[in-house]
Structure 1
Amino acid sequence: MERRRPVAGVIAAHAGEADTVASGSEDAALLALLRRLDEGGYAFVTPTPLTHARVVARADRQRARCVRDVLGWSLPFARGEIDAEVEMLLDRAGMLHADGALSRSRVRVSSLHDRLFLHSAYPTHDTDAVFFGPDSYRFADLIRVELASIAVRARLRILDIGTGSGVGAIVAASACRDAQVCATDINPRALRFARINATAAGVTVNAHHAPTLDTVEGAFDVITANPPYIIDANSRLYRDGGGMHGAQLSLDMTRMALDRLAPGGRMILYTGSAIVEGDDALKRALADAASAGGFGLDYRELDPDVFGEELDQPGYADVERIALVAAVLTRPA
């Protein structure tokens, strides 16, 4: 079935970002690419990097046979052998690079909730890569469930911290059409892709390039966050969660958020937590933060064991497992 084409939208920007996707720009070419793919019914669910590596290692997956191979599996292709308009738009956007006699795309495109999202091509080695994967789908579903339980009221204010490709902000804006939605990130490339993704989705998001919440004003009814939670030796922005076996950034974002929640507001955190001898340090730290401020806390494991391969790394020598968790903190009304 052909996908419904979204109406025009815009992501407003701050701190030096452009206000719109300028006509004739590289960003405009990427926006046109998303719309072209949308009209053609393009769909691709991005797996984990480990699954991706296994698939593209197969003997019959060394060269792209279609657009989905190029923009989903990041396979190389020969010029003139894929959809001509897609190739032209990638070229115009400056998103093609040579791989011997073939070419590769610098971006991927994934589908989520009937929307398309630009993000970085596989493998995501760059320190400022914009990541998208299974966590993006779980995060989006968690937001949908939590927003469905919020009493309907006019002009909700929603903030997505560390927006990345814009999943949290765009899903929230799509679910609450009358809401004022803001987003922050420290990665300019992420904000660029989020801006284009929001425009393609037909929603308005106010984006801020900032490591803190100092650039956004006032209190928020809903704050969402999907911070990185892995120890990363290369300190990649999308992956490195800092101390506490990768949970420090999740705790820091939550503490920032609690100070900005309106009465009755809630913080929706999706992240991972390393379990050491049965103990969940992030759960304890969030419980302490909630208790100190009089907030309610609903904390639950969504998946008890992910990224088991990380346990071979030195920083995880004492870790039993990495759990995916959801934490919802609520300020009393």
Structure 2
Amino acid sequence: MDTPPHLPPADAALLDLLAALRREEYAFTTITPASHARIISRKPEATSLRDIFGWSLPFRESALAPHLLHLLHTAGALEEDGPLRRSTLRVSSLDGLLFLHSAFPTVGADAVFFGPDTYRYAALIRAELPRLGRVRRIVDVGAGSGAGGIVAARLAPGARLTLTDVNPEALRLARVNAAFAGVAAELLEGPGLDPVAGEIDLVIANPPYLVDAEARAYRDGGGMHGARLSLDWALDAARRLRPGGHMILYTGVAMLDGRDPLREALESALPALSCTLAYRELDPDIFGEELDNAPYRDADRIAAVAAVLTKNERP
């Protein structure tokens, strides 16, 4: 694979790592953290590429080919675990591509998350984007690994892709992931749409939507039981979209006594911003373990939802 000239050596090593794993026909589907913990409890040490780069298990240097070990070392993605080694990054499969993201467990403040939400987000983009007509500019807000934006860009040849995030490590991995996918992307550091200038045809977003005691950026969605950030990004997009533009929003909502507070807030606010809303549940019950925590004691469930906003052609 040709290395883009703008990639520093550490990131070029990550690009070479993805290419090497593809040659090995590597594939891995990332599951929820709770399920992941159950699986790795069965096996203390890695013996395969999927163990090392998927399950994030510690490994002996002899378990990994020397050229792959060298690439991890060059990328700064290798750490000691007693007498063993561990990759600080995971690699997951989606749409025939491979994506770098943070190793399990994702506890760091700069963790880059990828999991079942990513697969549902990509599926929503695949379902909705072809219906929207010509798209000239796509902005993936809080892009993380860049998976959503990359999926969208491949569905809209010729569209300009912008990825934003507050996390420099997310933008680093998104840059490598986009290069591996053969997708040109502009990467901007900053919250929401703040760093983006100009007209936007399509905003896509998979915001953090849980209440996180440590307020980690990849996980914490703020007030409204975690839905506040989703609401803020949706209303900001509604203000910034060109006439006829759209937003595809995938997020999670805590349902309260049968009510959906995010849907209610959007339905109340969007008409004044000249936007219409198509809204539906995608999965009625996700991250059920969160219901044991104090912030969710009054919630019925947490649901995955899809919201598609459309800016009216005329105010």
TM-score, L = length of structure 2: 0.96
Q: In structure 1, how many angstroms separate the alpha carbons of the residues matched to 2:128 and 2:297?
A: 35
CA contact (8 A) 1:8 1:200 kept: no
Instruction: Identify which of 90, 95, 100 aligns with 2:72.
Output: 90
Q: How big is the shift at 1:167?
A: 1.0
Q: How big is the shift at 1:177?
A: 1.7
Q: Matched residue pairs, number?
A: 313
The residue type equivalent to 1:211 in the other structure is P
Instruction: Identify which of 120, 131, 135 aligns with 1:149.
Output: 131
**Equivalent residue for 2:12?**
28
**Equivalent residue for 2:103?**
121
Q: In structure 2, how many angstroms separate the alpha carbons of the residues matched to 1:9 and 1:140?
A: 26
Q: In structure 2, how many angstroms separate the alpha carbons of the residues matched to 1:317 and 1:307?
A: 14
The residue type equivalent to 1:20 in the other structure is H
Q: How big is the shift at 1:233?
A: 0.4
Q: In structure 2, how many angstroms separate the alpha carbons of the residues matched to 1:40 and 1:184?
A: 32
Q: In structure 2, how many angstroms separate the alpha carbons of the residues matched to 1:299 and 1:212?
A: 21
Q: In structure 1, how many angstroms separate the alpha carbons of the residues matched to 2:223 and 2:242?
A: 29
**Equivalent residue for 1:140?**
122
RMSD: 1.3
Residues 201-212 of structure 1 mapped to structure 2, 5 A cutoff = 201-212=181-192
CA contact (8 A) 2:13 2:75 kept: yes
Instruction: Identify which of 22, 25, 29 aligns with 1:45.
Output: 29
Q: In structure 1, how many angstroms separate the alpha carbons of the residues matched to 2:245 and 2:109?
A: 34
**Residue 172 (str. 1) matches residue 152 (str. 2):** yes
Judge which range, 113-122 or 155-164, deviates more. 155-164
The residue type equivalent to 1:100 in the other structure is G
**Residue 63 (str. 1) matches residue 49 (str. 2):** no
Q: How big is the shift at 1:83?
A: 2.3
Q: In structure 2, how many angstroms separate the alpha carbons of the residues matched to 1:215 and 1:243?
A: 23
Q: How big is the shift at 1:144?
A: 1.2
SS in 1 for 2:163: strand
Change (3 A) 1:300 1:43: same
Q: In structure 2, how many angstroms separate the alpha carbons of the residues matched to 1:269 and 1:214?
A: 17
The residue type equivalent to 1:311 in the other structure is L
Q: In structure 2, how many angstroms separate the alpha carbons of the residues matched to 1:275 and 1:149?
A: 29
Q: In structure 1, how many angstroms separate the alpha carbons of the residues matched to 2:107 and 2:200?
A: 34
Q: In structure 2, how many angstroms separate the alpha carbons of the residues matched to 1:147 and 1:297?
A: 15
Instruction: Identify which of 233, 238, 245 aligns with 1:265.
Output: 245
Instruction: Identify which of 203, 207, 211 aligns with 1:231.
Output: 211
Judge which range, 303-312 or 77-86, deviates more. 77-86
The residue type equivalent to 1:164 in the other structure is G
CA contact (8 A) 1:165 1:191 kept: yes
